[in-house]
């Protein structure tokens, strides 16, 4: 059985757990270094990236996650910011995906929107909810762009890392979580 961790600092933790369990994965809410030994992949939920960074530091998770090169990760909204190697105007956090991210690029809370979004590698358009969403300002050529909204990059994949600007967990659409789960399971099979 595949076990996916959901970083339990803040954000839509329960919603991610619900979606992963609907796909048949075991889940674990990750709050300590010890939890990392029991998971095959990690979801970094939305929230407030600066607050999440402080909590990662406080619980001693920042360096173990930054230096772990084996753990697949999926970041949504603030999770996308955590995975970037560069964040405009801020220090980078986990530095996993070679990209530059702009925080709150789509505006304030009142500028939130939903869209049916074509995503590379997923057959049907994905329900995407954007709330104070970041965007990817630039990617290195080795990063695969999975989706764009009006030429703004909003979903990417690099190696075993996937990130999106939107909140798939706030919909009933399981396709982004399935995409990540498939990636994790493929990696597990490579190791066996």
What is the set of active-site residues?
Answer: 77, 167, 169
Distance separating alpha carbons of residues 73 and 79, to the nearest angstrom: 9
Q: Are 80 and 165 in contact (CB under 8 A)?
A: yes
Residue 156, beta-bridge partner list: 145, 163
Q: Are 132 and 104 in contact (CB under 8 A)?
A: yes
Q: Are 125 and 142 in contact (CB under 8 A)?
A: no
Picking from 147, 163, 139, 42, the residue whose alpha carbon sits closest to that of residue 86 is: 139
Residue 161, beta-bridge partner list: 73, 158
């Amino acid at each position: 059985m595949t076990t996916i961790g959901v970083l339990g600092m803040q954000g839509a933790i329960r919603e991610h757990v619900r979606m992963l369990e609907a796909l048949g994965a075991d889940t674990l809410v990750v709050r300590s270094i010890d939890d990392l030994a029991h998971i095959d992949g990690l979801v970094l939920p939305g929230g407030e990236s600066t607050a999440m960074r402080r909590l990662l530091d406080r619980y001693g998770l920042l360096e173990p996650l930054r230096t772990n090169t084996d753990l697949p990760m999926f970041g949504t909204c603030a999770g996308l910011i955590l995975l970037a190697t560069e964040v405009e105007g801020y220090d980078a956090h986990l530095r996993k995906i070679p990209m530059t991210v702009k925080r709150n690029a789509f505006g304030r809370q009142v500028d939130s929107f939903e869209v049916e979004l074509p995503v590379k590698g997923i057959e049907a358009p994905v329900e995407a909810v954007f709330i104070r969403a970041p965007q990817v300002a630039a990617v290195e050529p080795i990063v695969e762009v999975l989706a764009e909204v009006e030429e703004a990059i909003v979903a990417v994949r690099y190696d075993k890392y996937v990130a999106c600007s939107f909140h798939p967990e706030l919909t009933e659409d399981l396709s982004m979580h399935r995409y990540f789960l498939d990636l994790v399971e493929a990696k597990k099979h490579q190791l066996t």
